Amino acid sequence: MADDKLIIVNFWPSIFGVRVRIALREKGLYFDEKDEDMQNKSPLLLEMNPVHKQIPVLIHNGKPICESLIIVQYIDEMWNDRVPLLPSDPYAKAQARFWADFIEKKIFKQLEGALGEKVYFGDDMFGFVDIVLIPFYMWFHTYETYGNFNIGVECPKLIAWSKRCLKRESVSKSLEDPNKVYEFMMSYRKKLGLEY
């Protein structure tokens, strides 16, 4: 639909918001974004997501869709005439949903095993699981610094996969600069009175 109006209610460092950006860009869709002040949520956010009052919310022609995984699946179903983000085979689809759910629990090491030698999580097809996981990349530097570990040493295949994903315009245009995210975290912790 050419006259679709799409708005993401977002907060720029959010991993969840980036998923929505990537999915829309994979489908070649134009969207606007409204950045929220999370300390002072807008009436729009409270109206669009009255249950959780969280970003991201995708507003499609005035109607809100909440929860990033649900939003990405909505985008895939709504624009099913373009590159699919989920496989059509029910078993492969169930597997993709399983790993997306798993990512929500953030267990990277086992994801390294699930990726194996594949180009993307959906074999040659960049899709749902890739979209759900890649936004964490912009936080890797912050996790590593605060957690004092090196993701590249622990999970080299995940890092190589991240680089492949970053070659896609939908991903590189959607992710924020990891240094900017780190600076945001530092100033946030400072504001909370934490030393480091």
Ligand X SMILES: N[C@@H](CCC(=O)N[C@@H](CS)C(=O)NCC(=O)O)C(=O)O
Applying CB under 6 A, the residues found at the interface with ligand X are 11, 14, 16, 38, 53-56, 67-69
Beta carbon of residue 41, minimum distance to ligand X (angstroms, whole number):
7
Which residue, 155 or 181, has its beta carbon nearer to ligand X?
181
* Residue 31 or 164 having the CB closest to ligand X: 31
Q: Is the separation of the CB atoms in 22 and 46 below 8 Å?
A: no
For residue 104, the minimal CB distance to ligand X (Å) is: 7
Nearer to ligand X, 68 or 142 (CB): 68
**CA 64 – CA 162 distance, rounded (Å):** 30
CB closer to ligand X, 46 vs 166: 46
For residue 56, say if its preceding peptide bond is cis, omega within 30 degrees of 0. yes
DSSP structure class, residue 176: P
Residue 3 Cβ, how far from ligand X at the closest point, in Å?
A: 26
CA-to-CA distance for 102 and 99, rounded, in angstroms? 5
Nearer to ligand X, 34 or 157 (CB): 34
Closest residue by Cα to residue 65 from 76, 134, 113, 168: 76
Q: Which residue is nearest to ligand X (CB)?
A: 54
State the nearest-atom distance from the C-beta of 181 to ligand X, in Å.
Answer: 12
> CA 157 to CA 151: how far, in whole Å?
10
Cβ–Cβ < 8 Å for 97, 76: no
Q: How far is the CB of 103 from ligand X (least distance, A)?
A: 10
